[in-house]
């Protein structure tokens, strides 16, 4: 894609000229009548969230006013406030990318495996044993103690492929000398591993993670560079976290190379953990060749796509690809339902869909309101590690996933509804 000249030259102008980074957009017209699930909040912002707080709305409007947005921002049903721009925002840009909008967990997403195993095959087996096997095989920490790099045959080829990709694309990883140990580690926060049952009581293996510490280091490096450049050239930003890199500059191309590697790492990290999960599940259940289908999808990433007649850099910050026919996983919160979906290719929604339930309360506020006993009551019938370490992940801290999915009915078709019977959270 050839960027508009204003963006390509913006960092070459003299500071005293106080450059204004305007970019001419196309004459794309938003539809006058939108379905009930949608609401136009401004000329360049369409909202799908029926549960929307003022802070999130203002963040989305602020991002939508950036001069290179084309054709508009799509605010997903699970949207909530984030750093710089709201989580659950789909941001199409011409000739620029906002590193903080992509976020620090580059490539974070979901992977799910549908099995042919019915619940009756495993219902007599202790789920606590499986949980302990998972916790022994998949590091729940940052990965510093990952001693399984030689345990499975599938690990070494993944590391080699990532090494080759980094070498061939001149990706500098000196900031993360232990990145290999991070492959196959879960991490904390809302990352999880679950054993689920669908509406026919068939077993699904399901997990959520991203690019770990190495992705965070890459993101922080380029967020800082974008902020320094925008400050250097007197670009007036509504928020420092909306600092951007302009296409055609060395900084932009370097970020895209690093970003692509981090997204690949995140994808392979989930695949690595899922392969380990499949291995311990088959050992625990006494079954073999269980996998029917695998879905591995990002929900924090940037990719080039075509929308409203132009090639754009599309950043999905807390959203999944929902082009027509594309499969994706949308998790609920800890203790609630999750969904396997197929995209409907909604163009007004920028062919995107929500990535989960979306938070109602911050982690601090959730800990103020709820206790470990409250969490235990919400996790009735589910095998999990008890204690107060995960109180901030209680379902009450999140939006109602059923309302989110109802708001998303024009974006995706629900294929399967999953309920967990085992949950493992990161530390």
Give a three-class secondary structure readout of 293-348.
Answer: EEEEEECEEEEEEEECCEEEEEEEECEEECCCCCEEEECCCCCCCEEEEEECCCCC
Residue numbers of the domain that contains 266: 5-360+398-425
- The pLDDT tens digits for 161-195 are 999 999 999 999 999 999 999 999 998 888 999 99
Residue 24 within any structural domain of the chain? yes
Residue 145 within any structural domain of the chain? yes
Residue 38 within any structural domain of the chain? yes
Instruction: Please tell me the distance from the alpha carbon of residue 4 to that of residue 22, in angstroms, as a whole number.
Output: 10
Q: Is 355 a catalytic residue?
A: yes
Q: Across residues 99-108, what is the average pLDDT?
A: 95
Q: What is the pLDDT of residue 188?
A: 83
* Residue 273 CB-density burial (10 A; 0-12 exposed, 13-18 middle, 19+ buried): buried
Q: Directed axis angle between helix 155-168 and helix 250-285, to 10°?
A: 180
Question: Are 188 and 105 spatial neighbours (Cβ–Cβ below 8 Å)?
Answer: no
Q: Which two tokens stand for residue 191?
A: 């990352």
Q: Which two tokens stand for residue 26?
A: 């196309």
Residue 375 within any structural domain of the chain? no
φ, ψ (nearest 5 deg) of residue 322: -130, 35
Note the residue count of the chain: 427
SS3 148: coil
**Which residues, 6 or more positions from 345, have their beta carbon under 8 angstroms from its beta carbon?**
322, 323, 324, 325, 351
The binding site for GMP comprises 190-194, 299-300, 331-334, 338, 355-358, 425
Question: Are 8 and 95 spatial neighbours (Cβ–Cβ below 8 Å)?
Answer: yes
Is the per-residue pLDDT at 425 higher than 80?
yes
How many independent structural domains does the chain possess?
1
Q: Which two tokens stand for residue 134?
A: 């998972």
Instruction: Please tell me the distance from the alpha carbon of residue 241 to that of residue 83, in angstroms, as a whole number.
Output: 7
- The pLDDT tens digits for 45-73 are 999 999 899 999 999 999 999 999 999 99
Q: Which contacts qualify for 342-347: CB closer than 8 Å, 24 or more apart?
A: 342/412, 342/413, 342/415, 343/411, 343/412, 343/413, 344/410, 344/411, 344/412, 344/413, 346/322, 346/410, 346/411, 347/307, 347/308
The binding site for Mn(2+) comprises 105, 191, 208, 299
Q: What is the pLDDT of residue 387?
A: 83
Residue 421 within any structural domain of the chain? yes
Residue 45 within any structural domain of the chain? yes
Residue 142 within any structural domain of the chain? yes
Question: CA separation (Å) from 353 to 73, 309, 392, 411?
Answer: 13, 21, 25, 6
Q: What is the CATH number of the domain that holds 352?
A: 3.90.1860.10
Residue 291 within any structural domain of the chain? yes
Q: Across residues 135-147, what is the average pLDDT?
A: 79
Q: Which of 80, 222, 298, 355 is catalytic?
A: 355
Q: What is the pLDDT of residue 402?
A: 92
Is the per-residue pLDDT at 1 higher than 70?
no
Low-confidence winner among 30-34, 104-108, 393-397, 422-426 (lowest mean pLDDT): 30-34
């Amino acid at each position: 894609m050839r960027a508009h000249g204003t963006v390509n030259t913006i960092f070459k102008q003299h500071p005293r000229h106080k450059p204004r980074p305007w970019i001419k957009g196309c004459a794309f017209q938003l539809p006058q009548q939108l379905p009930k699930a949608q609401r136009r909040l401004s000329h360049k912002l369409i909202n799908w969230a029926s549960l929307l707080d003022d802070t999130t709305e203002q963040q989305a409007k602020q991002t939508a006013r950036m001069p290179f947005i084309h054709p508009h921002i799509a605010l997903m049903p699970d949207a909530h406030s984030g750093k710089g721009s709201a989580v659950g925002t789909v941001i199409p840009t011409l000739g620029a990318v906002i590193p903080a909008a992509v976020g620090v967990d580059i490539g974070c997403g979901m992977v799910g495996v549908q099995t042919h195993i019915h619940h009756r095959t495993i219902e007599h087996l202790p789920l606590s044993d499986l949980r302990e096997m998972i916790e022994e095989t998949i590091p729940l920490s940052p990965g510093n103690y990952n001693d399984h790099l030689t345990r499975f045959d599938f690990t070494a080829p993944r590391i080699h492929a990532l090494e080759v990709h980094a070498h061939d694309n001149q990706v500098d990883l000196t900031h993360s000398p232990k990145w290999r140990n991070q492959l196959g580690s879960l991490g904390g926060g809302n990352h999880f591993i679950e054993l689920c049952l669908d509406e026919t009581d068939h077993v699904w293996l399901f997990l959520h993670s991203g690019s770990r510490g190495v992705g965070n280091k890459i993101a922080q490096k380029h967020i800082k560079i974008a902020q320094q450049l925008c400050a250097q050239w007197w670009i007036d930003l509504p928020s420092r976290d909306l600092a951007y890199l302009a296409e055609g500059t060395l900084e932009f191309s370097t970020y895209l190379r690093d970003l692509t590697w981090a997204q690949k790492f995140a994808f392979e990290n989930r695949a690595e953990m899922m392969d380990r999960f499949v291995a311990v599940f088959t050992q625990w259940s006494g079954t073999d060749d269980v996998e029917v289908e695998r879905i591995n999808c990002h929900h924090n990433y940037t990719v080039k796509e075509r929308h409203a007649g132009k090639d754009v850099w599309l950043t999905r910050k807390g959203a999944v690809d929902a082009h027509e026919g594309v499969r994706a996983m949308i998790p609920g919160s800890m203790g609630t339902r999750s969904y396997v979906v197929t995209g409907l290719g909604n163009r007004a929604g920028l062919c995107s869909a929500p990535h989960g339930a979306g938070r109602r309360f911050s982690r601090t506020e959730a800990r103020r309101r709820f206790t470990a006993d409250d969490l235990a009551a919400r996790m009735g019938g589910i095998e999990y590690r008890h204690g107060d370490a995960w109180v901030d992940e209680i379902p009450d801290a999140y939006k109602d996933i059923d309302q989110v999915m109802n708001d998303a009915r024009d974006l995706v078709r629900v294929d399967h509804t999953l309920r967990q019977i085992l949950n493992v959270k990161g530390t």
